[in-house]
Each structure stands twice: as structure tokens, then as C-alpha cells.
Structure 1
Amino acid sequence: MFNGLSAFPLTPMNMKGPNETSFVRLIERLTEAEVDSIGALGSTGSYAYLNRAERAQIIQLAVQHAGPIPVMAGIGATSTREVLHLAEDAQQAGASALLLAPVSYQPLTSEEVYELYRSVSAEISVPLCVYDNPRTTRFEFTDELHGRIAQLPNIASIKIPGVPADPQAAKERISRLRKLIPSHVSIGISGDPLAATGLNAGCELWYSVLGGLFPEMALALTRAAQSGNAALAEQLSMRLSPLWALFNQHGSVRVVAAAAELLGHASAPCLPAPLQALNAAERAALATLLDELAL
């Protein structure tokens, strides 16, 4: 399951908590599009804002409605004890893999992060993806730490942030990391604006925010890169440049949430408070852009 397009949908919210009806509709859209995997409760899925029971229910719904498509479940939390509880819940719900970021309140050391992955990898029975997300966690992985963690049991993939924009520099970055990790551990690109560059540089999959709402467009870009058509992949990404600019300006989750509201896939507001999507003027500009891009 760690290749191709892994689509990360929103977890739409309402005043009572997760909007299960809207979430199921999003999962069914991904199933119909035949994405390669679904990443439920990633950062786009607002995992940090949900309690344990809500997270367990969201994973159950994702698995129930994903059909044959494997579901990866986010299990990040501030304590190893809670992470292990969430891992147990996700496995019982039928998740095919787990996604773990080193979430913290106190800043973590490299040894503390290693011990987190060592403790969790020893207790689970499904593959684990290492979520390298320094913008959110404020923790900077080194390639050497990735190499140590990748030797642990059940580690199957590393979800890295954006690569350098220069294609050659991107290839060199992926090559450096690849030399330090086992061949069975995949490297997946996140940070949608650089997805085409990362895939063309050798990443095996795209962990995609865009794919969670617009799977057909994300699949087209992914398949172009997988087939060796680097130029087409870059062309498709360049077409989305105005959307990437909004991602960079506002944060991808706010933009995708506003898009979901505008297109009727989620009721407004759909983000957990205090998060907000976009203001009226920004939403109007986004609506125009979605029309122009035929999304």
C-alpha cells in the first residue's frame, strides 16, 4: 500500500464533533476514484483535536466505507501511553497501517523520538509510517535518525516534508536518505506544491492533501510521475500553482476545508474551533479559482 497516491481527507466537524455523514461521503469519493490508499486522521484530518472515542469511530467509518482500499490511521499523541491506546483502537478497527508523528508539548530530543518509535513498533502488528512534519511538531528529523528508526520492526514508510524545488537537488536529497534506510521502507512526499518534484526525484508515493478532496487530479499527477512522464507531472503541478500559493499563505487544511464547504462536501464551519477556514473575500477568490481549474 506504500506506493502511488495516499489521499488524506478532512474530518469535517460540527458543533457536536465529527460530522460522520460528510466524512463518509468523502471516503466514498476516494473509493470511487480508486486511490491507492487513504490516510485517515492525518493533519488534514484534525487528529489532534479529537478525543480517543472520536478517533476510533472515524477509523471504523473509514475502513467500513473504503472497500478494498487500505486505510492508514493517524495515532499521534503527546504521550507514548496514549499513542499505544490509539494504535490498539486503530488495529481493532481494521486499519491496514498506522501513521505516527512525534507530537509533543515539551520539545523532544532525538533519543526521545527514537524511543517513541521503538516502543510503538514493538507493540503493533501492522506497518507503521514515520510522519516527519516539522512545521507542526517543531521537531527536525535528521537523515541519521530516520536511518535508525527505519531499522525497527514494522517500519514501512517515511513521510517526508517538501524536497528542494530544484529537480537535481531533490534527487540528491532522496538519494541521501535512501542510502540510510532499508530497501523495503518507502519514501513518500508530502507538501503538495512539491509533490511532482518529489515523485520525479524518486519518492514512491505522494501523501496528499489535495488527493483527499480532488482525487482525480491528484491521481493524474501521480500516474504521470509513475509512468516516467516527469514533464507532464510538473505541468499538472504548475497548473495548480495558484492553489499551491493559497496553501502556502493560509495552510492547506484551511484552504481544503473552505473548498469542501464551497463545493457542498461539508457544512460550514467544518474545522474544529478555534481553527477557521477562510474569510469572505478569500473564499470568493478560492471559488473563482476552483471554477478556473475545473475542480
Structure 2
Amino acid sequence: MTTLSAFPITPSDTSGHVDVGALRSLLRPLVAANVGSIGLLGSTGSYPYISRDERRRAVEMAVDEVAGRVPLLVGVGALRTDEAVRLAQDAKAAGADVGLLAPVSYTPLTEDEVFEHFATVARESGLPLCIYDNPGTTHFRFTPALIGRLGRVPGVVAIKSPAPEPQAVTGHLRELRTVMPEGFSLGYSGDWNSVEALIAGGDVWYSVIAGLFPTAAMAIVRAVDAGEAAEARRLDARMQPLWDLFKEFSSLRVIYACADLLGICRTTPPRPILPLPEVARQRVADTLKTLDLN
């Protein structure tokens, strides 16, 4: 069965002080939509820009809101291994179910360095980990060989991969299933390519759009689960204007604009990220009006 993991923004001021009330209001529709999990403090949740104390506040509130109803996946990435360990320990202590760990770096990392980073965080935190392969931000790409090594580390249980182009997804899944142990979860992000990855057999859709429009995303997942590939593709094609905006301006900036335009959450990204300029913001508004996702 395919699972939807919804990734909301983390409402805050420009200095990264989290508005937990606004965050709570974003989480409630996700629970009501019966998403498979919630991805807190992912890239859409601006985790690199938020301090440890503010992350802890966000996780504690989220656990209070969703615990026992929806599993909570929490971003624990940091530049140093000891920092990532502490963030993972915080998340576990608060009641999070899984940590999402990216190999954040300034100096490019080797495969051995990334392996030790993950093994240390898993061992010292005791929090199950999902590998976060996001080369667009970390500038590190996981090879199948490294994924296979990490898949045998106790506590490393899943991977969130960028969805490849449709013609490559079947081969990508086959390659990963060859190196991974039985039961290891293979999921995909990058909303504009993820539907084909789900149709090909991916286990999880780690979705930006689901963090704000869970009903629309769940409709796609249900079509995939029902074996209705044509319907899933139709629903995905309807979203193409939004996918185009994601690719042009980044999903982060666009989803912040969506939240603000719809009055769902009055917030702006943490600096130095700026809100979309007015011309781009109007394009987002026009797209939302056409799609009518509420």
C-alpha cells in the first residue's frame, strides 16, 4: 500500500522563531485527511534555518497534536554529527517516530564520512532514521552501494529519494531493491515526478503539496492504490501548472505564497530567503484560482 507523507511549512518570523499556533493549524487538516505520516522540519519546513530550541518547541507541539494518530517524521539534519545526534535525541525524547537525516555539509563529504555520520546518529540517538537524499541542497548524491551499506545499519529504516524522470524510475527502484534488505521503505520526493514513481511501485510519496492540500494529494495516492494509473496521471496532469511554478521558483517559495494567499497561514520564509516578488506571486494566485484545490 502506498503511503503519503505530508510536509508542511514551519510558520515563523524572519529570524526562525516558530509560531506554534499557526503550525498547529496546519497540522490539523493533515490528520483529518488521514495522511500516512507528517514530515515536520523537512526542507519545506526550513529546518536548516531554525535553531535547536525552536525545533524542539515545534516537535513538542506537533507530538501533542498528532501523537497516536499520525506518525511523525522529523528533520534532524545538521552540519556536525554531534549536533545531529542531539537533534535526534530531542526528537525521540519528544515522541517523534522517525528522524529524517540529510548529509548537510559545507566541505563536500565522502561516502565513508556520510556512512559514519548516519551510523553515529542512529546508534547514539536510538531514533529510527530515514535517509534523506537531496543532492539539490546537500550536493551529495547517495550511490546504491552506500544506500545498501546504510540499509544494514541498525535503526536506518527508509530512504527519501528524489524521484527520477519517468523513464528512469523503474530501473531506479529495481536497483535499490537489489541492495536493500527486505522491508526497507523506498520513497520519493519531488512532487512533479513522484506519481510515476508511485505507479512503478514506490512505497511513499514525500509531498510538499500534501502539506497544504492533503485532500488533492490523497486522491492521487488512492488512485494509485486502486490500480487506476490513468486516473492518477489525470490528477497529476491537472497539477502541472503548480509543478511548473515549483520548478521555476522552488517549491518552498511557492508553498509559502500559497499559504499566505489563501489566508491559511500568514508567514514568510526565514531570511535570507525572501517572499516571491509580486509578479510571481500573482502567477501563483492565478494558478490557485484555476486549480481550486480547497
For this structure pair, what is the TM-score category when the shorter chain's length is used for normalisation?
A: over 0.9
**How do 1:27-46 residues align onto structure 2 when only pairs under 5 Å count?**
27-46=27-46
Question: Which residue matches 2:136?
Answer: 135
State the 1:183 CA deviation: 1.6
Is 2:174 aligned against 1:175?
yes
Secondary structure of the corresponding residue to residue 140 of structure 1: coil
Shift of 1:15: 4.7
Deviations 1:126-164 (A, max 9, x none): 321000000000001111111111111011111000222
The residue that corresponds to 1:49 in the other structure is 49
Q: What's 1:192 paired with? A: 191
| Contact 1:4 1:223 (8 Å CA) reproduced | no
Q: Tell me the CA shift for residue 120 of structure 1.
A: 1.3
Cα RMSD (Å): 1.3
1:244 is aligned to: 243
The answer to whether the 8 A contact 2:131-2:159 is kept is: yes
Which whole-Å CA distance do the structure 2 matches of 1:237 and 1:190 have between them? 14
Residue type at the aligned position of 1:289? T
Residue 147 in structure 1 maps to residue 145 in structure 2:
no
SS, match of residue 179 in structure 2 = coil
Contact 2:88 2:127 in 1 (8 A): no
Task: Determine if the alignment matches structure 1 residue 121 to structure 2 residue 122.
Answer: yes
More displaced stretch, 109-118 vs 122-131: 122-131
Q: Report the alpha carbon displacement of residue 282 of structure 1 after superposing the two structures with TM.
A: 1.2
Q: Aligned residue for 1:276? A: 274
Q: Deviation of residue 227 (structure 1)?
A: 2.0
Which amino acid is 1:293 matched to? L
* CA positional deviation for 1:277: 2.5
Please give the per-residue CA displacement for 1:143-197, whole angstroms capped at 9, x wherever unaligned.
111111111101111100022222xx31121111111101211100100001111
Rounded to whole Å, the distance in 2 between the matches of 1:171 and 1:62 is 35
Counterpart-to-counterpart distance in 2, 1:229 and 1:146: 31
Deviation, 1:256, is: 0.3
| Letter aligned with residue 191 of structure 2 | D
In structure 2, the residue corresponding to 1:39 is in which secondary structure?
Answer: strand
Q: Distance in 2 between matches of 1:172 and 1:233?
A: 21
Matched residues, number: 291
Cα distance in 1 for partners of 2:112, 2:126 equals 23
Asked if the contact 1:7–1:210 (Cα under 8 Å) also holds between the matched residues in 2, the reply is yes
TM-score after normalising by structure 1: 0.96
User: Are residue 95 (structure 1) and residue 93 (structure 2) matched?
Assistant: no
Spell out, residue by residue over 1:250-286, the C-alpha distance to the aligned partner (whole angstroms, 9 max, x if none): 1100000000000112214x21011123111111111
- CA deviation vs aligned residue, 1:103-128 (integer Å, no higher than 9, x gap): 01111011100111111121233321
Q: Which amino acid aligns with 2:51?
A: N
User: 2:108 maps to which residue?
Assistant: 107
Assess if the C-alpha contact under 8 Å between 1:41 and 1:73 holds in 2.
yes
Partner of 2:259: 260
Residues 14 and 269 in structure 2, CA contact (< 8 A), matched pair in contact too: no
Q: Distance in 1 between matches of 2:157 and 2:218?
A: 22
Unpaired stretches in structure 1, ≥5 consecutive residues: none
Moved more, 227-236 or 86-95: 227-236
8 Å contact kept, 2:14–2:271 = no
Which moves more between the two structures, 9-18 or 129-138? 9-18
